[in-house]
Structure 1
Amino acid sequence: MSVTDRFSLSGKKALVTGASKGIGTELCSVLAEAGADIVALARDQAGLAEVQKAVEARGRRCLVIPADLGQPEAPERAAREALAAWGTIDILVNNAGVSFPKLMVDQTIAEWDLIQAVNLRAPWLIARTLVPAMMAQKSGKIVNVSSQTSAVALTEHGAYAASKNGLNGLTKVMTAEWAPYNIQCNTVCPTVTMTPMGQQVWGDPAKLGPMVAKIPAGRVAQTVEVCDVILFLCSQASDMINGQDIFVDGGYTAV
């Protein structure tokens, strides 16, 4: 098999959550360019329409499913809608995430619960709905987008860190239970990435400067750099990589 074939997603169907902004938007285009048809899932219907145009411009199909993953019934409903339309999903990227940066003494219960619901509960619910079809076909890829905050303490990110640490642990149990069915489950853990959420948290240069100073690469990540790692984990080239937390952090966690 050629290098091109090993990295190709031709004939695959990928579901991407948080598809209407940031990493999710870029990822839908990257996976489509590699050959995958896309199920784009997000709350923002206008953003989803733009994603659909971008995917179809690359010659791939795009099914858009509006959903608020903070609602208990929404993740499973959306996943079942995707299965009803396309029969099976080969690739799941749980990318959707929310954050309300506050000191832990100031975080509200409502904010805590929403962060856990979107960042941790929804990936479990979507995965458990899609996985039986992956098991039946004896192949599947699941990539959970985590954060460098899952490995290092970051003030004002207590609830967010808890959700991402939980996501890393959940991914390892996914691996233990689903690897015998040839399903690979991994996390990608980016450093600061200037998505709309990243801009909201780190847009103030006075706050961003000290963070960048801790990154040996001397800069934040670009969305496409995160997406290219996810592409690798969605391809045949990564079939022996399972249960790993892969940091796209410019060396932040290495020093």
Structure 2
Amino acid sequence: MDFEGKRVIVTGAGKGIGRATAVMLARRGASVVALTRSPRDLETLEAEIGCISIAVDLADADATRAAARQALPADLLVNCAGTTELEAFLDVSVENFDLLHAVNTRAPMIVAQEFARERVASGRKGAIVNVSSCASFVGIPDHAAYCASKAGLDGLTRVMAKELGPKGIRVNGVAPTVTLTPMAVKAWSDPDKAAAMLTRIPLGRFAEPDDIAEVILFLLTDAAGMVHGLSMPVDGGYLIA
């Protein structure tokens, strides 16, 4: 997969799947524009791959739109930023519910709007990958707001595919199982909880960030030219177990 000459926006590029994706893209020739909240993460990423960095709190709608416009023009977009808060359904706060939807669902919409508007106005094709989660398909205890936000992102991906496909922009999603990122360590640090999840994954392990990044890159390439509107599980067989 060669991305020489391609400019790619990656949100959530500071850590986890987003960082693995940014690094993999850069190593395969892409010019990466990295959006994330932490300036320190951006500093270390810049030192590693020489990316263009934009620090932004994606929970802030206006700041997100401004950052997306600053990142343009770009050929490809990966919406990878995400957050979670662990709360039982009966304890979910409105504040955390709104936060998760702002970062996990609304921010991808805003960034994709600005990306797609620029591509359509310039008459050029493009591709978008939204990073969702297997939590969009199943109910996971203590993840009510997270599951809802990722299911919303999958719905958004399908509508984007319907409307942007005729304009030459392919849109797909990926739905990872538990991936060993800092956020996952926070959510799955209880050994009993982790063991119960692992027993449902036929391949017998959680994913590594590079496992997901490889699939994201494939979906961005012309090799996936007829893959459109898909929410692709990358889950070691979790959803068939």
Q: In which range does the TM-score fall when normalised by the shorter chain? A: over 0.9
Runs of 4+ displaced beyond 3 Å: none
Deviation at 1:204, TM superposition (A): 2.0
Q: What is the TM-score normalised by the length of structure 1?
A: 0.92
Question: 1:78 and 2:67 equivalent?
Answer: yes
Equivalent pairs: percent with the same residue?
43
Size of the aligned set, in residue pairs, is 240
| 1: CA distance, partners of 2:215 / 2:48 | 20
Question: 1:22 and 2:5 equivalent?
Answer: no
**CA deviation map 1:142-193 (0-9, x unaligned):** 0000000111111111111111111011011111111012211000100001
**CA deviation map 1:54-85 (0-9, x unaligned):** 213xxxxx2100000001212101011112xx
- Unaligned 5+ runs, structure 2: none
| 1: CA distance, partners of 2:48 / 2:215 | 20
| 2: CA distance, partners of 1:93 / 1:51 | 16
The amino acid across from 2:179 in the alignment is: T
| 2: CA distance, partners of 1:236 / 1:55 | 24
**CA deviation map 1:182-214 (0-9, x unaligned):** 211000100001100000000221211111011
Question: 1:37 and 2:26 equivalent?
Answer: no
| 2: CA distance, partners of 1:139 / 1:98 | 30
| 2: CA distance, partners of 1:137 / 1:231 | 23
Q: Report the counterpart of residue 223 of structure 1 in structure 2.
A: 209
Question: 1:67 and 2:53 equivalent?
Answer: no
The amino acid across from 1:220 in the alignment is: F
Q: Report the counterpart of residue 187 of structure 1 in structure 2.
A: 173
**CA deviation map 1:86-117 (0-9, x unaligned):** xx111111100011011111011100000000
Deviation at 1:130, TM superposition (A): 1.3
The DSSP-based 3-state class of the residue aligned with 1:73 is helix
The amino acid across from 1:127 in the alignment is: A
Deviation at 1:137, TM superposition (A): 3.3
Q: Report the counterpart of residue 125 of structure 2 in structure 1.
A: 139
Deviation at 1:53, TM superposition (A): 1.6
Q: Report the counterpart of residue 226 of structure 2 in structure 1.
A: 240
- Unaligned 5+ runs, structure 1: 1-6, 57-61
| 2: CA distance, partners of 1:132 / 1:18 | 21
